[in-house]
Chain A
């Protein structure tokens, strides 16, 4: 776990850029997933966005 988190802590700019891209791309994907039947994919994208924000808070 430390091996995964320490590069993020050491380079916050890249980490923030990664989460930013995740939020924008995720938001667009959610539009296309909203009307479809792929609820699992919708939950997955939303889950990733939540996880990304949790990492921003706790890292």
Chain B
């Protein structure tokens, strides 16, 4: 049953990485395999299958609203020449490739994860890095790795909130260990970013700013969440990184800076869309009355309990609710509209700009949208058929007392399958807690490992990889990205495993 349960995931990974299939094609194969296996061997009935599809639709729309609008915003800025201006301006701040990668792909990505959420950092930053001369592959890999550590407390703490909700445990118990694990991960992904950019040579040259920035971001996140402000931990961590990182970037300008002074006004106008995005996100998330007001428009269904012929039950409850007005996609769309008006008024557009923006956005995102649709549907069918549960139980029983080593990998598996740290926490946190109780292990450390693994795994999720690929001109080459990301993520997970093992048995 374990082999059958893992088969749809293997099919997708093998087809994408081994046979270089597009995500849309591989996702369809995984989706059909999951449905067939769930039907024949796991006894899923028609009703459960129907509800699983409907639940998946809301998860898909939740994800795609951000992808569509993030790319739309990018095209609005790009059509006006904004990316070109940014590409010419940032080397003025520092021409050092290592510092550029740290500043944009690590710090700015973490900040965007703090205020935004699913897919936004890679979707926004990958095109900027391409504009700076990074290869499209590195342009996707760098921000994918860079924002990893900020995922759990990013998106205004959505993933951490999911873990608290499922386990019933409070922030007092869970926040500090999670922040320590994620802080260590933050430094490790900073090292990984530099190694991706230029190997050991770049790491040796840039290790000091890396250390200073890493400690600042991790410490800021730790102190914020350990005081109970877990919803702004990622945001504060990213902001601390910018405060420390920008002066350091000025200091390390590189040997041959491509200096071309750009008037400040032009730079501000070119980045106006992203400025509006950050401002709107902060206003919506940090002012409770506005958040509450915008949360009144909600779209979603209430799902009844389902049971398979094998007796696997999914309790009744609301599926993913779409808060249309305060959704990150709406904020991105408003930012794009504001940016368009600003560029239009400034006379930066040529005739027919809007038509070109809409057409290019549509043609770029549709393949990714279909890939995400089939993969999320596969994941939800697996959850409802009990296949995900079989996978988790199989891993747990086979490992026993070495369970702390497995904990982050289980979190990562959930995130790879569902494309989200929050979903991984929803699926596996209760199981991790129960297993920790049975084995007499400290639950807080096991759950810290779960969410850290989930954060790491989420960036290797095919759904997120598709987002990055689609914004960096690498559609259809998602397999290349996965082949580069996978070994790095596995090494990072291995380190987290060892830290968890040491933490559980030595502390």
A34 touches B31 (CB 8 A): no
Nearest neighbor of B51 in chain A, beta-carbon distance: A34
B56 touches A39 (CB 8 A): no
Q: What's the Cα separation between A21 and B304 when bound, in Å?
A: 25
B366 touches A16 (CB 8 A): yes
Specify which chain B residues have a CB less than 8 angstroms from the CB of A27 in the assembled complex: 53-54, 56-57, 60, 377
Interface string of A44-59 (1 = CB under 8 A from B): 0010011001101100
Q: How far is the CB of A13 from chain B (nearest CB, A)?
A: 5
A31 touches B51 (CB 8 A): yes
Binding-face segment, B368-376, B400-408, B449-457: B368-376
Nearest neighbor of B303 in chain A, beta-carbon distance: A31
Specify which chain A residues have a CB less than 8 angstroms from the CB of B25 in the assembled complex: 56-57
Chain B residues 59-76 with CB under 8 Å of chain A are 60-61
Chain B residues 23-68 with CB under 8 Å of chain A are 24-25, 28-29, 31-32, 35, 46-47, 49-51, 53-54, 56-57, 60-61
Q: What's the Cα separation between A20 and B374 when bound, in Å?
A: 9
A12 touches B367 (CB 8 A): yes
Task: Say yes or no: is A1 at the interface (Cβ < 8 Å to chain B).
Answer: no
Q: How far is the CB of B7 from chain A (nearest CB, A)?
A: 16
Specify which chain A residues have a CB less than 8 angstroms from the CB of B369 in the assembled complex: 16, 20
Chain A residues 1-47 with CB under 8 Å of chain B are 12-13, 16-17, 19-20, 23-24, 26-28, 30-31, 33-35, 39, 42-43, 46
Task: Say yes or no: is B363 at the interface (Cβ < 8 Å to chain A).
Answer: yes
Task: Say yes or no: is B301 at the interface (Cβ < 8 Å to chain A).
Answer: yes
Q: Known: A16-B367, A35-B47. Contact between A53 and B301, CB under 8 A?
A: no
A23 touches B374 (CB 8 A): yes
Q: What's the Cα separation between A50 and B28 when bound, in Å?
A: 9
Specify which chain A residues have a CB less than 8 angstroms from the CB of B29 in the assembled complex: 57
B28 touches A56 (CB 8 A): yes
Specify which chain A residues have a CB less than 8 angstroms from the CB of B304 in the assembled complex: 35
B53 touches A54 (CB 8 A): no
Q: What's the Cα separation between A27 and B376 when bound, in Å?
A: 12
Nearest neighbor of B373 in chain A, beta-carbon distance: A23
Interface string of B1-34 (1 = CB under 8 A from A): 0000000000000000000000011001101100
Nearest neighbor of A12 in chain B, beta-carbon distance: B367
Where chain B touches its partner, the secondary structure class is: helix
A24 touches B301 (CB 8 A): no
B60 touches A34 (CB 8 A): no
Where chain A touches its partner, the secondary structure class is: helix
Choose one: B47, B301, B363, B366; the contact of A20 (CB below 8 Å).
Answer: B366
Q: How far is the CB of A3 from chain B (nearest CB, A)?
A: 23
A33 touches B366 (CB 8 A): no
A31 touches B24 (CB 8 A): no
A34 touches B32 (CB 8 A): no
Choose one: A16, A28, A46, A56; the contact of B49 (CB below 8 Å).
Answer: A46
Q: Known: A35-B47, A53-B31. Contact between A19 and B57, CB under 8 A?
A: no
Specify which chain B residues have a CB less than 8 angstroms from the CB of A13 in the assembled complex: 362-363, 366-367
Specify which chain B residues have a CB less than 8 angstroms from the CB of A35 in the assembled complex: 47, 304
Specify which chain A residues have a CB less than 8 angstroms from the CB of B367 in the assembled complex: 12-13, 16
B366 touches A28 (CB 8 A): no
Nearest neighbor of A17 in chain B, beta-carbon distance: B366
Q: How far is the CB of A8 from chain B (nearest CB, A)?
A: 13
Q: Known: A27-B377, A42-B46. Contact between A20 and B370, CB under 8 A?
A: yes
Q: What's the Cα separation between A27 and B381 when bound, in Å?
A: 12
Q: How far is the CB of A36 from chain B (nearest CB, A)?
A: 10
Q: What's the Cα separation between A49 and B31 when bound, in Å?
A: 11
Q: What's the Cα separation between A56 and B23 when bound, in Å?
A: 11
Choose one: A28, A53, A56; the contact of B57 (CB below 8 Å).
Answer: A28
B61 touches A24 (CB 8 A): yes
Nearest neighbor of B301 in chain A, beta-carbon distance: A31
B28 touches A53 (CB 8 A): yes
Specify which chain A residues have a CB less than 8 angstroms from the CB of B363 in the assembled complex: 13
Choose one: A17, A24, A42, A50; the contact of B50 (CB below 8 Å).
Answer: A42
Specify which chain A residues have a CB less than 8 angstroms from the CB of B301 in the assembled complex: 31
Interface string of B287-306 (1 = CB under 8 A from A): 00000000000000100100
Q: How far is the CB of B266 from chain A (nearest CB, A)?
A: 35
Write 6 A-B pairs (CB below 8 A) sorted by A numbering.
A16-B370, A24-B60, A28-B54, A34-B46, A42-B46, A56-B25
Mark B residues whose CB is within 8 Å of A.
24-25, 28-29, 31-32, 35, 46-47, 49-51, 53-54, 56-57, 60-61, 301, 304, 362-363, 366-367, 369-370, 373-374, 377
Mark A residues whose CB is within 8 Å of B.
12-13, 16-17, 19-20, 23-24, 26-28, 30-31, 33-35, 39, 42-43, 46, 49-50, 53-54, 56-57
Additional 15 contacts, C-beta under 8 A, given A30-B50, A34-B50: A16-B367, A16-B370, A19-B370, A24-B60, A27-B56, A27-B60, A28-B57, A30-B53, A30-B54, A33-B50, A43-B46, A49-B53, A53-B31, A53-B374, A56-B28
Q: Which 6 A/B pairs are nearest by Cβ-Cβ distance?
A: A31-B54, A27-B57, A34-B50, A30-B50, A53-B28, A56-B28
